C-alpha cells in the first residue's frame, strides 16, 4: 500500500486542524467560485470560517471528523471502459488533438474545448462523445474494492456522493446494475461541472457539512483533485498504473492529499487520517 503524504504529494491546503501553517485555503475557494454560485454557498463558507477559528483555538482534536466521501464514477467506481484518447481524436481530429494535448500535459478537457464551437459542430461532437460513452456502458464493470469500501462507509454512517462528467443515464445504469446508490449523484447536467468546485460544494450544502469534512476520491488529477481542492475538501487520487508518477505532473496546480493504487487501500487511509466515529 502506498499511503501519502509523500515527498511528491504533500498536502497543499490541509484544514487548520492538520496544517502546520494557517493557509487560508477557504479564501482561495471563495475566490474561485463563480459569482452566481455565491449566494448558494455563502452559508457553507461562513460556517466554515467559524469552525475554522474554533479548530485553530483547539489542539485536542488531531483528526478531522469525516462526514462524507464523494466519488468520481468512470475509472474510479467503474473499471475504465472508455477509450478517451480515441474519443478526443474522433472529436478534435488528429492534428488538433496533438496540438491541444501538447499544451495540456495534465489532460484534455474535451467539454471545455468544444464549448465555443458552432451549434452544428458542437452537436456532432456530442454525438461522437455519446457514441463512445454508450460503448463504455456496454462494458461497464464495477471497480474491485468499490462495493466493500461502500459497505465499510455505510457501517460508519459516512455519506456517499458521486460527481461525474458523464450523463445522468450512465449514473442511473450504474445504480441499477450494481445496486449501490450514491446521493446526491451529480452528472454533467449539473452545471458547472468538474473541475469547478460547484458540484462538490452543492453536495456539502445538501449534506449540511463543511467541505473540509469531506474527501473527494477520483482517478483524474485535472478534474477530481482540482474540484476537491478548489472546494476546500480533502482529495485522494486513484492511480492504478502509476501514470501520475511521471515528472510531467510534478508542477500541477492541485495535488492530492493522498494517493492509492486501488480502492482497497482507501479505507485504511481514512481510518489512519480521520475520525470515523459516527
Residue 219 binds Mg ion (CB under 5 A):
yes
DSSP string, 206-220: HHT--GGGEEEEES-
Q: Which of 16, 71, 72, 171 binds Mg ion (CB under 5 A)?
A: 72
Q: How would you classify residue 215: left for phi > 0, otherwise alpha for psi between -120 and 50, otherwise beta?
A: beta
Of residues 74 and 239, the one with the C-beta less far from Mg ion: 74
Taking the complex as a whole, the smallest distance from the CB of residue 75 to Mg ion amounts, in Å, to 4
Is 72 an active-site residue?
Answer: yes
d(CA 124, CA 131): 11
Nearest residue (CB) to Mg ion, 72 versus 213: 72
Among 75, 161, 195, 199, binds Mg ion (CB under 5 A): 75
Burial 134-147 (b: 16+ CB within 10 A, else e): eebbeebebbebbe
Instruction: Give, as one character, the DSSP assignment of residue 244.
Output: G
Which residue lies nearer to Mg ion by CB, 238 or 270? 238
* Contacts of residue 275, Cβ cutoff 8 Å, sequence gap at least 6: 61, 63, 64, 65, 66
Stretch that binds Mg ion, among 1-9, 74-82, 145-153, 239-247 (CB under 5 A): 74-82
Q: Check 74, 219, 239, 257 and give the catalytic one.
A: 74
Q: Quote the least distance from Cβ 219 to Mg ion, whole Å.
A: 4
Shortest distance, position 218 Cβ to Mg ion, whole Å: 6
**Rounded-to-10 torsion of CA 182, 168, 32, 210:** -20
Residue at shortest CB range from Mg ion: 75
Return the number of the residue (15 or 75) whose C-beta is nearest Mg ion: 75
Q: Does 213 bind Mg ion (CB under 5 A)?
A: no
3-class DSSP assignment, residue 235: strand
Cα of 214 vs its chain's centroid, Å = 11
User: What is residue 192's DSSP assignment?
Assistant: S
Which range binds Mg ion by CB under 5 A, 65-73, 124-132, 197-205, 270-278? 65-73
Q: How many residues bind Mg ion (CB under 5 A)?
A: 5
Cell numbers 467559524 correspond to what residue?
50
Half-sphere exposure of 88 (CA within 13 A, CB side): 17
Q: Considering beta carbons, is residue 41 or 239 the nearer one to Mg ion?
A: 239
* Binding residue (CB under 5 A) for Mg ion from 74, 213, 257, 265: 74
Query: By C-alpha distance, which of 204, 201, 211, 208 is closest to 235?
Result: 211
**Which one of 39-47, 134-142, 213-221, 245-253 is the stretch in contact with Mg ion (CB under 5 A)?**
213-221
State yes or no: is 196 an active-site residue: no
239 binds Mg ion (CB under 5 A): no
**Active site amino acids:** 72, 74
Interface residue list for Mg ion (CB under 5 A): 72, 74-75, 219-220
Amino acid at each position: 500500500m502506498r499511503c501519502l503524504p509523500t515527498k511528491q504529494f504533500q498536502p497543499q491546503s490541509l484544514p487548520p486542524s492538520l496544517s502546520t501553517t494557517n493557509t487560508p485555503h477557504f479564501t482561495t475557494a471563495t475566490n474561485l467560485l463563480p459569482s452566481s454560485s455565491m449566494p448558494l454557498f455563502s452559508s457553507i463558507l461562513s460556517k466554515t470560517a467559524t469552525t475554522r477559528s474554533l479548530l485553530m483555538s483547539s489542539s485536542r482534536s488531531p483528526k478531522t471528523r469525516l462526514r462524507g466521501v464523494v466519488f468520481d464514477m468512470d475509472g474510479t467506481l467503474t473499471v475504465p471502459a472508455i477509450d478517451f484518447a480515441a474519443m478526443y481524436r474522433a472529436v478534435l481530429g488528429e492534428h488538433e488533438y496533438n496540438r491541444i494535448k501538447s499544451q495540456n500535459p495534465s489532460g484534455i478537457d474535451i467539454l471545455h474545448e468544444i464549448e465555443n464551437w458552432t451549434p452544428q459542430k458542437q452537436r456532432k461532437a456530442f454525438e461522437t462523445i455519446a457514441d463512445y460513452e454508450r460503448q463504455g456502458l456496454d462494458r461497464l464493470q464495477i471497480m474491485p474494492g468499490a462495493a466493500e469500501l461502500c459497505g465499510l462507509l455505510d457501517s460508519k454512517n459516512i455519506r456517499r456522493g458521486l460527481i461525474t462528467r458523464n450523463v445522468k443515464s450512465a449514473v442511473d445504469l450504474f445504480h441499477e446494475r450494481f445496486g449501490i446508490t450514491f446521493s446526491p449523484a451529480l452528472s454533467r447536467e449539473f452545471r458547472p461541472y468538474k473541475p469547478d468546485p460547484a458540484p462538490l460544494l452543492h453536495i456539502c450544502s445538501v449534506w449540511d457539512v463543511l467541505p473540509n469534512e469531506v474527501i473527494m476520491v477520483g482517478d483524474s488529477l485535472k478534474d477530481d483533485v482540482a474540484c476537491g481542492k478548489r472546494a476546500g475538501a480533502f482529495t485522494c487520487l486513484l492511480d492504478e498504473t502509476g501514470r501520475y508518477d511521471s515528472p510531467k505532473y510534478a508542477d500541477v496546480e492541485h495535488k492530492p492529499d493522498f494517493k492509492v493504487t486501488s480502492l482497497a487501500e482507501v479505507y485504511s487511509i481514512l481510518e489512519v487520517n480521520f475520525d470515523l466515529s459516527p
